[in-house]
């Protein structure tokens, strides 16, 4: 067993601290649970969208695309990581590492960019910075296509020598090589970080914070009646806070750890500890459908009914005053306010 492990991992010459065998087993179980949850949730989103025509609206294209990307991360990376953890080593060799590293990074950045696209969609529809914009299918398709093309552009270079994919953490999964101090590799990593994490993060923060500011401004002006705006504001605020916190919890630790390694190639952290931010990033495949899909009443009704064989406890409890992902649309010219569901 040790000879097989050594021969399969000989292309990675980095020395790491030994990891107890039971730790691999625990990691395998954790990843298997998240993978199973991700497959069930994201497959449900895709299936109910196919079955129900009313869900196939342009505003939902990005939500379904997020489910597809998360499912891609789970199938190409999560399930494989669960298997390699159960074995205690990465058994697929150099070629397998490159394929896995590329696939996970590719689908992961598609998901990340899709979250940014969703934020921009809501910002444009609610705040109307470009005036009244009718959200047509072509706009939705452009946003989805951008996420895939952008991710492909920045994940292909390591396949041709600008950057590379290497084992990470406890050496049972692969990712872009953050530790190589070679200037060529460093230039790729910095571009990758700025263009595939920092910019989407700034877009997400700007879009949702501006949306909240717009809602607060309208609420303060007292334009709406009967406290409707205040209730909508509270719901939107909770939704936005959950979205931002989930994004930070999933991605910030991984980004911070990666940057620490980039700026100090001698930076050392125990493999088990280093695995935590990597797994947090992969758990976004479970959080995303819950936050973006199942907090949407329309999707939730169909998805819960599908999962519970036709029963939906939420449908019985929902009151007429509930607003699904409430948003306020502001007509700047007439100063009219409309509360809509996105």
Average pLDDT over residues 42-51: 92
- Dihedral angle sign, alpha carbons of residues 284, 288, 294, 299: negative
Tokens read off for 78: 């999560």
pLDDT at 332 over 50: no
Average pLDDT over residues 197-206: 93
pLDDT at 305 over 60: yes
pLDDT of residue 229: 57
The predicted-structure confidence for 136-179, as pLDDT tens digits, reads as follows: 888 899 999 999 999 999 999 999 999 999 998 889 999 999 88
Could you tell me how far CA 315 lies from the centroid of its own chain?
A: 28
pLDDT at 316 over 60: no
Give the pLDDT band (50/70/90) at residue 312.
low
Give the pLDDT band (50/70/90) at residue 14.
low
Residue closest to 157 by CA, chosen among 199, 190, 116, 111: 190
Q: What value, to the nearest 5°, has the Cα angle with vertex 117 and ends 74 and 50?
A: 60
* Number of DSSP helices (H) and strands (E) in the chain, helices first: 13, 4
Rounded to whole angstroms, the Cα distance separating 116 from 112 reads 7
pLDDT of residue 270: 81
pLDDT of residue 323: 42
Give the pLDDT band (50/70/90) at residue 233.
low
pLDDT at 3 over 50: no
Rounded to whole angstroms, the Cα distance separating 85 from 169 reads 11
Could you tell me how far CA 108 lies from the centroid of its own chain?
A: 7
pLDDT of residue 242: 84
Compute the mean pLDDT over every residue in the chain, rounded to the nearest whole number: 81
Average pLDDT over residues 20-25: 88
**Higher model confidence: residue 188 or residue 327?**
188
> Residues 327, 235: contact at Cβ < 8 Å?
no
pLDDT at 276 over 90: no
pLDDT of residue 96: 93
Tokens read off for 154: 């920045």
pLDDT of residue 164: 93
Give the Å distances, CA to CA, from 194 to 117, 154, 199, 224, 304.
Answer: 17, 11, 6, 41, 38
The predicted-structure confidence for 74-129, as pLDDT tens digits, reads as follows: 999 889 999 999 999 898 899 999 999 999 999 999 999 999 999 898 888 877 77
Tell me which of 113-117, 203-207, 337-341 is least confident: 337-341
Tell me which of 12-26, 181-195, 221-235 is least confident: 221-235
Kind and range of the H or E run holding 54:
none
């Amino acid at each position: 067993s040790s000879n097989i492990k050594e021969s399969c991992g000989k292309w990675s010459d980095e020395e790491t601290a030994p990891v107890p065998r039971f730790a691999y087993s625990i990691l395998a179980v954790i990843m298997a649970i998240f993978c199973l949850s991700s497959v069930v949730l994201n497959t449900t989103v895709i299936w109910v969208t196919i079955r129900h025509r009313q869900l196939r609206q342009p505003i939902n294209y990005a939500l379904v695309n997020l489910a597809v990307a998360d499912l891609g991360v789970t199938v190409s990376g999560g399930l494989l990581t669960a298997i390699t953890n159960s074995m205690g080593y990465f058994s697929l060799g150099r070629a397998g590492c490159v394929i896995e590293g590329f696939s996970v990074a590719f689908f992961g950045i598609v998901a990340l960019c899709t979250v940014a696209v969703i934020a921009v969609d809501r910002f444009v529809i609610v705040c109307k910075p470009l005036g009244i914009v009718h959200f047509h299918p072509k706009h939705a398709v452009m946003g989805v296509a951008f996420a895939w093309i952008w991710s492909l552009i920045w994940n292909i270079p390591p396949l041709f020598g600008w950057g590379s994919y290497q084992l990470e953490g406890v050496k049972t999964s692969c990712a872009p090589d953050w530790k190589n101090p070679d200037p060529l590799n460093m230039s790729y990593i910095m571009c990758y970080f700025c263009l595939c994490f920092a910019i989407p993060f700034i877009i997400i923060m700007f879009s949702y914070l501006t949306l909240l500011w717009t809602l607060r401004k309208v609420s303060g002006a007292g334009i709406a009646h009967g406290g409707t705006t205040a209730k909508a504001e509270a719901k939107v605020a909770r939704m936005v806070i959950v979205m931002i916190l989930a994004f930070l919890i999933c991605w910030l630790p991984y980004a911070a750890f990666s940057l620490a390694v980039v700026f100090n190639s001698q930076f050392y952290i125990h493999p088990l500890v280093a695995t935590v931010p990597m797994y947090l990033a992969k758990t976004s495949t479970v959080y995303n459908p819950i936050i973006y899909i199942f907090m949407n009443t329309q999707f939730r009704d169909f998805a819960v009914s599908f999962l519970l064989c036709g029963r939906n406890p939420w449908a019985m409890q929902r009151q007429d005053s509930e607003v699904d992902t409430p948003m306020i649309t502001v007509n700047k010219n007439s100063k009219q306010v409309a509360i809509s569901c996105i």
